[in-house]
Amino acid sequence: MDENLVTGLHAVLAALTQHPERVDGVWVSQERQDRRIGEILTAARAARVKVHPVPRAALDRMAGERHQGVAARLRETAVPRAQNLDEFLKNISGTALLLVLDGVQDPHNLGACLRSAEAAGAQAVIVPRDNSAPLSAVAHRASAGAAESVPVFQVVNLARTLGELKQAGIWLIGATQDAETQLYDADLKSPTALILGGEGKGLRRLTQENCDVLVRIPMAGAVASLNVSVAAGICLFEAVRQRRGP
């Protein structure tokens, strides 16, 4: 499948409404005519984006089988780099809540993490440029539109970036199953960057050393760890809970 294709109702509608300048065209299954497809068509007309009605079989060949009857092709754009991060941090409104992903390589997990970050109100997600899943069509679909609204910063040197976050007054909380402190005992009300590791290996040693606090999610069952996207959601919404107060 073309990596510039975004599929699914949420992802395509988000692209059309939030970044219409990036959408090069929309393909809609001729067999699907309902309210949700109508919303896509209305948004495409408003954005002056060309719509291509095609048979579902043609859309299957173009976008795979899990497209919900719609796909959009995005124009290539550069992912924000570290040089933009300093300026971004200076302009954060409210108490910072960032998500840092240390080597998440599955695009489904990346997309799901973006979805949780957007839902929790995190201002940005930070990933290393290397050894990280690309912000591909798969990630866009898994994010259910969040990839269009949450800034994702790629950094060359994650350890250096973590140092810069500290200098900006942001508390670094790393999640690892070996930590002594439980997540629910950590103070997440201050400006915080929650840091989670990749599938299997977790946080790298150097990343752990740069954290101010290491926490673990208490586990009651026999399973030793959670999927990174599930863990990210738990950590993010614990921060949301604490910041809402009693």
d(CA 33, CA 28): 9
CATH number of the domain at 82-244, out of 3.40.50.10490, 3.40.50.300, 3.40.1280.10, 1.20.810.10?
3.40.1280.10
Q: Which fold has domain 5-74?
A: 60s Ribosomal Protein L30; Chain: A; (3.30.1330)
Residue 42: band (very low, low, confident or very high) from pLDDT cuts 50, 70, 90: very high
Tally the residues of the chain: 246
Domain ranges of the chain: 5-74, 82-244
Distance of CA 60 to the CA centre of its chain: 26
pLDDT digits (tens, 9 = 90+) for 57-106: 999 888 876 788 999 988 765 555 545 888 888 888 889 999 999 999 99
Evaluate whether 5-74 and 82-244 have a shared fold: no
For 74, left (φ over 0), alpha (ψ -120 to 50), or beta?
beta
pLDDT digits (tens, 9 = 90+) for 190-227: 999 999 998 878 899 999 999 999 999 998 877 777 89
